[in-house]
Structure 1
Amino acid sequence: MACLAEYGWAGSTVAVVAERAGVSRGAAQHHFPTREDLFTAAVEYVAEERSSALRALVPAGPAHRRAAVEGIVALYTGPLFRAALHLWVAASDEDQLRPRVTELEARVGRESHRIAVELLGADESVPGVRETVQGLLDMARGLGLATLLTDDARRRERVVAEWARILDGVLG
């Protein structure tokens, strides 16, 4: 994941990853025959680990909405998102990779939404709540994109505070 985040898709060959991991290229290819296998497995594993960590670190419920928003935004502004973005860009040009990344991102997206609902204490049977939670995830993704170019931590803090306020109003 670090190679993908640092070097992008083009610079992250199996040989580069194997060297960084301290294993032979043959050993890496034994477990992951293609670069596509390696990186889709890595993104999936790290996404699951980060989701578990988020659930463990952020208490669920209305009293902790600001912390939930901060945690969700942190998922999209860190190295995992940067690595995933490189994978998305590669998938947009590589027919062999596209269906794997599309399926993976659909699963990760559903899980992210489910975790957000849980952490926010949201009741999706209320009209507009599902869309508001999805809006939070879309906003967090946008902040992650902005972070790729500049350090916008000060602006991000204000946006997170405002989203927490909006969620309190919408979710009650």
Structure 2
Amino acid sequence: MAAMTDYRLVRGAATRRRLMDAAAECLAELGWAGSTVAVVATRAGVSRGALQHHFPTREDLFTSAVEHVAERQSAALRGLAGAGAGAVVHGIVDLYTGPLFRASLHLWVAASTEPQLRPRVVELESRIGREAHRTAVELLGANESVPGVREVVQGLLDMARGLGLASLLTDDRERRERVVRRWVSIVEGVLGAGESSPSGV
């Protein structure tokens, strides 16, 4: 009986992950209007009833999907520990110019007109934003007690979001790379200045 229960739990967790992956993919590709529960269930290869067993509402499904993908990509980003500022800056930009940002953006837009969705998305994005900032600080070895360092880290994240928005409609990789190279120089310069400060402040 215990073995059967364990099997069902494992199978249920796998189905849940598959649904969240499918939901994030649909949101990135089809937007909020096109990402119906039925479309996600079909992509995940499960019945609509099975989907609603795991996610009773559409809001449950898509907020969970974005959080799931964000956690997975954050873990991948943390794999850059020790790789240097250049790799970290590029990794952060890749995060915000990829499918996760596109899916998140569709969720933000939907939340602006869906009252039942808005508080959940506001809370989710606040949590993801805090985690992104904390991860960037750790990876860059940034000392935020040094004047200007916190603003540079936040500016880096804001810049990456801006590039993500710009990439939605046009292929601007060449311009983006020039911007990223400049930001690598800025980050290295500020962090280097902080490290060389005798007082650390």
TM-score calculated relative to the size of structure 1: 0.96
Find the aligned partners of 2:74 and 2:188 in 1 and give their Cα distance. Answer: 23
Tell me which structure has the larger Cα radius of gyration: 2
Match of 1:77 in 2: 97
Of the three residues 175, 191, 201, the one matched with 1:155 is: 175
SS in 2 for 1:23: coil
Find the aligned partners of 1:27 and 1:75 in 2 and give their Cα distance. Answer: 31
Find the aligned partners of 1:45 and 1:148 in 2 and give their Cα distance. Answer: 22
Find the aligned partners of 2:151 and 2:191 in 1 and give their Cα distance. Answer: 11
CA deviation after TM superposition for structure 1 residue 73, in Å:
0.3
- Please identify runs of 4+ aligned residues in structure 1 that moved more than 3 A: none
Q: Establish whether residue 146 from structure 1 lines up as the match of residue 166 from structure 2.
A: yes
Q: Deviations over 1:97-150 (max 9, x none)?
A: 000000000000000000101111110000111111000000000000001011
Of the three residues 18, 27, 36, the one matched with 1:13 is: 36
CA deviation after TM superposition for structure 1 residue 59, in Å:
2.7
Q: Establish whether residue 127 from structure 1 lines up as the match of residue 147 from structure 2.
A: yes
Match of 1:37 in 2: 60
Q: Which amino acid aligns with 1:123?
A: N
Of the three residues 10, 15, 25, the one matched with 2:48 is: 25
Q: Which amino acid aligns with 1:119?
A: L
CA deviation after TM superposition for structure 1 residue 79, in Å:
0.5
Match of 2:81 in 1: 59
Q: CA RMSD in A?
A: 0.8
Find the aligned partners of 2:92 and 2:126 in 1 and give their Cα distance. Answer: 17
Point out where structure 2 has 5 or more consecutive residues left out of the alignment: 1-23, 193-201
Point out where structure 1 has 5 or more consecutive residues left out of the alignment: none
Q: Which amino acid aligns with 2:35?
A: S
Q: Deviations over 1:42-77 (max 9, x none)?
A: 000110000001111x133xx710100000000000
Percent identity over the alignment is 77
TM-score calculated relative to the size of structure 2: 0.83
CA deviation after TM superposition for structure 1 residue 168, in Å:
1.2
Q: Which amino acid aligns with 1:85?
A: L
**Higher RCO (Cα < 8 Å, 6 or more apart):** 1
Q: Deviations over 1:22-43 (max 9, x none)?
A: 0000100111011110000000
